[in-house]
Amino acid sequence: MKYSIVSTFALLVLGSAAWCAEETVLRIGDKSISVEEFEKIAQKLRETGYSHVEELDQQGKQELLDGVIARELLVAEALRRGYDRDPAIAQAVAKSERRALMNKLYEQEAVQASYAFSEADLRAFFAQQQYDVEVLSQHIVCATEEEARLVLELLEEGTPFESLIRPYSLPNIQQRFGPGGWVGWFKIGEVYEGLKVPLSTMPIGSVYPDPVQTLSGYHVFRLGERRPVDFAAVREWVEKQALVQSRADDMERYVGTLRERYQLALDAEVFAALLALPPQSTQWDGGDGPLLTWRGGQLIAREYLTLVEQGRAPHPAELDSARLYKAVDNLAGKQIMVAEARKLGIADDADIRASVERERDALLVKQLYQAEAARVGEIADEAVRAFYDQHIDQFTRTDGRVVDFAFVRESIRAALRVQAETEAMDALLAELRKAYAGQIQVFPVALEKAFE
């Protein structure tokens, strides 16, 4: 059986072996897949690369089994090649583990199993969060305050709002909001903090007199309409938002207690030097004194600037004092949470290990695929033309006219490359099946019991 690239990736993402099972469907080397895990993977696969499997009968189970075997062989080959030692993969796996540990810590120590809200609670939340009013507004978002003020001057002179969008609004904003700059209906509580008061108070049809800076840029905006929101119509949505907020509040309180317990402290002088760093510069001359310290750990300025260089943190010059403090404090908070999770033994949790392993395996197979794809090389012009000539019927329209080769050349090349890459992976899998034949054990009785 041949395996599509899509199916292989879907399988990899969806799970790894179960270690403690009463019955085992498959064993490859020292790795096992239990009946329960097999069922979970099968259900997930029907939503992705195996959506064509309408029933999980004997044939469907066998197809899934073949796919799982393929996945495990690819992972084994990637490990044999040492891809797990690649710095990028190691970094991504470490990040995955931190995220899994923090999520488990939140669920175990911070949030409640369930939350209940009375009608009065929901109505109060509805009003407090400013979900009771919604607005329709038109925006031009500029890169600089100077541009935004120029736009305001032009509007004051009578220039039509719509005519200023194309030359002054940021390209990504134009793509999101469209040529008219209309952002659609939003509840006041959903908009950027700096826009809430203006949109709540400004007259309908007016342009706000000053630019408002957000993470997107400098907003020049006009209020089109404002109207009340019917609580009954959005009650279910409000309850979901209340749940999200309650969980977030509990998480924040828990992290606050951890900060106190771990005695998190900021060095004001180092922080001031970091804040004063010139734009674009990541050269640190302030020594190795810690920026933040806590019981059992520290964060130095160089570490933060390394994240800046990697594009994983904003440059200090882009932030004010409060936002920079929040950025470094969050980094320290994550390290404290990971330390607490390890202290509580969460790192030994089977679900955590399985989650991290799935992330690792996905990265390994992706790297393996890229390596095999690189060996394919470029698709020659002659091969592209030959495919076109041999399948001319595919490029013939219903009116009998043939699509010109120039219009489809690159799409044919891309399709042939995908085909070549898939064939390369099929060939690799065939080699791996032969090499690992003595290490693959299938248990038909257990397979038969799946989904009973």
Question: 53 near 66, Cβ under 8 Å?
Answer: no
Integer CA distances (angstroms), 44 to 13, 26, 41, 47, 110, in order: 10, 18, 5, 5, 30
Tell me the mean pLDDT in the region 290-310.
95
Quick check: is 169 in a domain?
Answer: yes
Is residue 234 in some structural domain? Answer: no
3-state SS assignment for residue 157: coil
Q: What percent of the chain has pLDDT over 90?
A: 71
Average pLDDT, the chain: 90
The stretch 282-298 carries a mean pLDDT of: 92
Q: How confident is the model at residue 11 (pLDDT cuts 50, 70, 90)?
A: very low
Q: What residue has token string 């300025």?
A: 301
In the predicted model, is pLDDT for residue 354 greater than 90? no
**C-alpha to C-alpha distance for 32 and 20, rounded to whole angstroms:** 9
Residues 331 and 356 in one domain: no
- Asked if 38 and 447 count as a contact pair (C-beta separation under 8 A), the reply is yes
Do residues 310 and 362 share a domain? no
> To 5 degrees, how large is the angle CA 159–CA 164–CA 166?
155
| Percent of the chain clearing pLDDT 70 (strictly above) | 94
Query: Would you say residue 21 has pLDDT above 70?
Result: no
pLDDT at 6: 37
384 and 363 belong to one structural domain: no
| Cβ neighbours of residue 210 closer than 8 Å, sequence gap 6 or more | 152
* DSSP secondary structure string for all residues of 107-138: IIIIS-S-----HHHHHHHHHHTT-SEEEEEE
User: Do 146 and 202 lie in a common domain?
Assistant: yes
Same domain, residue pair 12 and 81: yes
State how far the Cα of 101 lies from the Cα of 247, in Å rounded to an integer: 17
Has residue 424 been placed in a domain? yes
Q: Check residue 179 and report its DSSP letter.
A: T
**What CA–CA distance (Å, rounded) separates 295 from 2?**
55
pLDDT digits (tens, 9 = 90+) for 62-94: 888 888 888 889 999 999 999 999 999 999 999
pLDDT band of residue 103 (cuts 50, 70, 90) is very high
Residue 388 domain flag: yes
SS3 of residue 25 by DSSP: strand
Give Cα 443 to chain centroid, integer Å.
37
Same domain, 320 and 283: yes
* Overall average pLDDT of the 164-183 stretch: 91
Pair 401, 356 in one domain:
no
Gap between the Cα atoms of 117 and 242, Å rounded: 8
Whether 248 is in a domain gets the answer no
- For residue 18, name the pLDDT band (cuts at 50, 70, 90): very low
Are 373 and 291 spatial neighbours (Cβ–Cβ below 8 Å)? Answer: no
User: How many whole angstroms separate alpha carbon 188 and alpha carbon 199?
Assistant: 7
Starting at the earlier edge strand, list the strands of the sheet with 217-228.
Answer: 182-187, 133-142, 217-228, 212-214
Reading the block at residue 138, the tokens are 């038109």
pLDDT above 70: residue 358: yes
pLDDT at 208: 98
pLDDT band at 22 (very low <50, low <70, confident <90, very high): low
Ordered alpha helix ranges (H), 262-349: 268-275, 301-309, 321-343
At 43-53, the pLDDT tens digits run 766 777 777 87
- Answer yes or no: do 224 and 137 share one domain: yes
pLDDT bracket for residue 166 (50, 70, 90): very high
β-sheet with 31-34: strand ranges across: 31-34, 24-28, 440-442
Between residues 30 and 106, which one has the greater pLDDT?
106
My answer on whether 400 and 431 are in the same domain is yes
* Nearest CA-CA partner of 35 in 57, 61, 59, 54: 61
What separation, in Å, do the N-terminal and C-terminal C-alpha atoms of the chain show? 26
- Do residues 92 and 363 lie in contact, with contact meaning Cβ atoms separated by under 8 Å? yes
pTM: predicted TM-score of the whole model, two decimal places: 0.72
Average pLDDT on 345-371 reads: 90
> Do residues 53 and 143 both lie within one domain?
no
Average pLDDT over residues 441-451: 87
25 neighbors 65 (Cβ within 8 angstroms): yes
Is 256 a member of any domain?
no
Looking up residue 146, the CATH number of its domain turns out to be 3.10.50.40
The reply to whether 163 and 211 lie within a common domain is yes
SS3 assignment for 329-354: HHHHHHHHHHHHHHHCCHHHCHHHHH
**What pLDDT does 178 receive?**
78
Q: Are residues 355 and 335 in the same domain?
A: no
Q: What is the pLDDT of residue 278?
A: 93
The whole-angstrom separation of Cα 87 and Cα 310 is 13
Rounded-to-integer distance, Cα 102 and Cα 280, Å: 32
Structural domains of the chain, count: 4
User: 375 lies in a domain?
Assistant: no
Instruction: Give the pLDDT confidence score for residue 34 in this predicted structure.
Output: 85
State the pLDDT at residue 3.
38
Q: For residue 371, give the amino acid letter.
A: A
Cα→Cα distances 187→150, 207, 248, 353, Å: 29, 19, 20, 41
What is the pLDDT at residue 44? 66
Range of the domain at 17: 5-105+347-367+442-449
User: Phi, psi at residue 27, to the nearest 5°?
Assistant: -135, 125
Residue 13: what pLDDT? 35
**Does residue 80 belong to any structural domain of this protein?**
yes
